[in-house]
Amino acid sequence: MNRLVVAMVFAAAMGLASSSSPANGAGAAAAAKKTAILTPAADIKWSSLLPNRPDGPQVAFVKGSANSKASVSFFINLPKDFNSGLHTHNSDYQVVVLSGTMTNQLEGEADDKAKQMGPGSWWFEPGMEKHFNRCLSAEGCLIFGAMNGPFSFNPVGDAAKPDATKPAAPEAPK
């Protein structure tokens, strides 16, 4: 990872996670004492975001958990061609793309109008806004996100169930 991406990830993590203290275990105790929390990449714990699809997206919560009642921060690793389906989140959230190319499309937005978001790209999404995400990269996509409230993913309609079998649009030439 080049220095620019590392610097952007650090700045994003500091900015996205600064609104409240970690909600789990040692992290909460460390924050109460105002000490640094350092987690080497090798110590980050990944799990399936969709338990019925172990080959689907993987999530690693670095602040809070899927069951937290407070704000959360997390990494998500998306497989190539992943399409989340139309969905909402209960609270506002922000994302930084760390690797791969993604789209974050609003309901009804045409594929050819979707902005392609590569490493270092950022977006903000208000809570309850209908949208879908796609990973366009053959190597998959890695993002860092933070929600201003508990983690949520609310599919919209039958067609919105996450479907990695529906290919995403091909990545634009570089």
Q: How many helices (H) and strands (E) does the chain have?
A: 2, 10
Query: pLDDT, tens digit, for every residue of 42-77?
Result: 999 999 998 888 889 999 999 999 999 999 999 999
In a domain, 168, yes or no: no
- Report the percent of the chain where pLDDT is more than 90: 65
Range(s) of the domain holding residue 116: 3-36+46-160
User: Tokens 């190539």 identify what position?
Assistant: 80
Q: What is the mean predicted confidence (pLDDT) over 117-136?
A: 97
- What is the number of structural domains in the chain? 1
The whole-number pLDDT of residue 14 equals 44
Q: How far is CA 99 from CA 131, 151, 160, in A?
A: 21, 22, 25
Judge if pTM exceeds 0.85. Answer: no
| Residue 162 scores a pLDDT above 50 | no
Sign of the torsion formed by the C-alpha atoms of 165, 137, 111 and 132: positive
Looking at residue 139, which CATH number applies to its domain? 2.60.120.10
Q: Write the pLDDT tens digit of every residue in 75-126.
A: 999 999 999 999 999 999 999 999 999 999 999 999 999 999 999 999 999 9
169 domain residue, yes or no: no
Place of tokens 């799990």: 47
Tokens 């600064």 label which residue?
A: 18
